Amino acid sequence: MAQSQDNTHEPVTGRAPLIVGGYDFRSMTEAVAVPVERKTPLGWWFFFLPSLALLGLFGVSIGWLFWEGTGIWGLNNPVNWGFAIVNFVFWVGIGHAGTLISAILFLFRQKWRTSINRAAEAMTIFAVMCAMVFPGIHVGRVWVAYWMFPLPNQMDMWPNFRSPLIWDVFAVSIYGTVSLMFWYVGLIPDLATIRDRAKTRIRKLVYGTFALGWRGSHRNWLHYERAYLMLAGLATPLVLSVHSVVSMDFATAQLPGWHTTIFPPYFVAGAIFSGFAMVMTLMLICRVLFEMEDIITMRHLENMAKIMLLTGCMVGYAYAIEMFIAWYSGNPYEQFAFANRALGPYAWAYWIMVSCNVITPQLFWFKKMRNHIGWLFVSSILINIGMWFERFVIVASSLHRDFLPASWDYYQATFWDFASLIGSFGLFFTMFCLFARFLPLVATAEVKTVLPEADPHQGEELVRVVRGGSDTDAAAQPAPAGGGGA
């Protein structure tokens, strides 16, 4: 198995290599392009058909919602925001890890991102799609959903730009647009690869059209790399702003439990935390299903586990500081809101959240657990559950008991609430399955740049080609690829 080769190390830094298994450029192309070109594996249907069924459920639940109205949900008078906003925040958060991997790690020159950034960016786009559905459908009168946008209309009416809800419309839709552009720009060279390997006319036409006639000219790479760098630089503050704006939907309200200044950083950390958990889940499945254990290596998984540990601790710190500030503020409403959160009717949800989000990642302090595939998978699922509950706790437990005890109530989700939650996973996984089937799952052109022979100055300094299993032989002699190539 591939894991056994992960003990080969870069000669200078002593780190595990980014790619194992002795790939060269051609075999790298093969490894990434063949899953796009071969017959659909049976395992793919195993994921795709259930996803499609859930997508159908999503369609039915939205159709019924449009027909009947928001009364089919469990909303009541104090809890006017239920699953729709919980799911919205959850999905936007999931998307953020994709941008973190593709943009922030790019700016920090973390080359290990190249194996996972394509899939993570795709995940971002599909998560934002899921997220955007909920504000669209939860407005009640969906036929006037266009009021969210500043469009000239016969009523001479304009949105209120002083409201965080309209900031959200701009933040999330622009986030979706920029993520899509970033993803597509990254795809162009790989689409050209698939185009040049295409055998059938329809493949040539479709991939050729989207590849835009890319021919790898360095005069083009020059602008391309600059554009990519700038998109990364733009996406980084964008992603931070998006979840900050999402948190302001809550924080600008005066409701105890929402009205806290910690919300923007707390939400951003939670978003990255949950998103990495989702990337982990997807990568663990994809690397097995598409035989990419050498490209998405244990080093990648371990790095992701470390980031989950970090962001998990930040989230845990935020939970603690919220409690502390509630007590320290001396405000009885704040104190009640937080005591009620941990001990009230929603205590079960609160403690699910704490155990999944704070306790689960603590095992990642141990290298053994960071390298344990089974635990990585289980913990990634647990963290996603926990992060969904975090948003549920924030929404439901804050709303259900506010200033006026006479209006207290308990929010109980209905079948249709759950149908739209589960259905949104159908949308997400259907899109991801289609992506994994028809587009290169790994950014081939980028991964080639981290292979040792991509370095034009290879062999000029200390060179040992680190290839799986053969590094001791290679260390004794100069790089086989070096020496002018004449």
Q: Cα separations (Å) of 93 from 90, 148, 300?
A: 5, 21, 21
Our finding on whether 167 is near another protein (CB under 8 A) is: yes
Alpha-carbon span 178 to 20, nearest angstrom: 33
Q: Among 34, 107, 144, 174, which residue interacts with another protein (rule: CB under 8 A)?
A: 174
Q: Nearest-CA neighbor of 74 among 353, 348, 421, 340?
A: 421
Residues 414-473 that bind another protein (CB under 8 A): 444-446, 448-449, 453-459
Residues 219-238 that bind another protein (CB under 8 A): 219-227, 230-231, 234-235, 237-238
Q: Among 1, 109, 146, 156, which residue interacts with another protein (rule: CB under 8 A)?
A: 156
Radius of gyration of the chain (CA): 24
Q: Which is nearer to another protein, 235 or 277 (CB)?
A: 235
Residues 17-46 that bind another protein (CB under 8 A): 24-26, 29
Residue span binding another protein (CB under 8 A) among the ranges 174-182, 359-367, 388-396, 411-419: 174-182
Residues 246-265 that bind another protein (CB under 8 A): 248
- Shortest distance, CB of residue 263 to another protein, whole angstroms? 14
- Shortest distance, CB of residue 339 to another protein, whole angstroms? 33
- Shortest distance, CB of residue 178 to another protein, whole angstroms? 5
User: Which SS3 state, helix, strand or coil, does residue 259 take?
Assistant: coil
- Shortest distance, CB of residue 405 to another protein, whole angstroms? 28
Residues 194-213 that bind another protein (CB under 8 A): 195-197, 208, 212-213
Length of the chain in terms of residues written: 486
Q: Nearest-CA neighbor of 300 among 113, 52, 84?
A: 113
| Cα atoms in the 13 Å half-sphere on the side-chain side of 277 | 31
Q: Nearest-CA neighbor of 289 among 422, 127, 425, 119?
A: 119
Query: Is 72 within 8 Å of 416 (Cβ atoms)?
Result: yes
Our finding on whether 342 is near another protein (CB under 8 A) is: no
- Shortest distance, CB of residue 290 to another protein, whole angstroms? 19
Q: Which residues have a Cβ under 8 Å from the Cβ of 17 and sit 6 or more positions away?
A: 8, 9, 10, 297, 299, 466
- Shortest distance, CB of residue 280 to another protein, whole angstroms? 27
Our finding on whether 478 is near another protein (CB under 8 A) is: no
Number of residues that bind another protein (CB under 8 A): 75
- Shortest distance, CB of residue 426 to another protein, whole angstroms? 30
Query: Is 194 within 8 Å of 34 (Cβ atoms)?
Result: no
Q: Among 31, 62, 92, 178, which residue interacts with another protein (rule: CB under 8 A)?
A: 178
Q: Which is nearer to another protein, 178 or 433 (CB)?
A: 178
Q: What does the CA dihedral 233, 234, 237, 239 come to, rounded to 10 degrees?
A: -110
Helices (H), 252-366: 263-289, 298-329, 332-343, 347-354
The mark string for 116-135 relative to another protein (x by CB under 8 A, - otherwise) is --------------------
Q: Among 216, 373, 422, 469, which residue interacts with another protein (rule: CB under 8 A)?
A: 216
- Shortest distance, CB of residue 173 to another protein, whole angstroms? 9
End-to-end alpha carbon distance in the chain: 36
Q: Nearest-CA neighbor of 316 among 345, 356, 288?
A: 356
Alpha-carbon span 470 to 92, nearest angstrom: 44
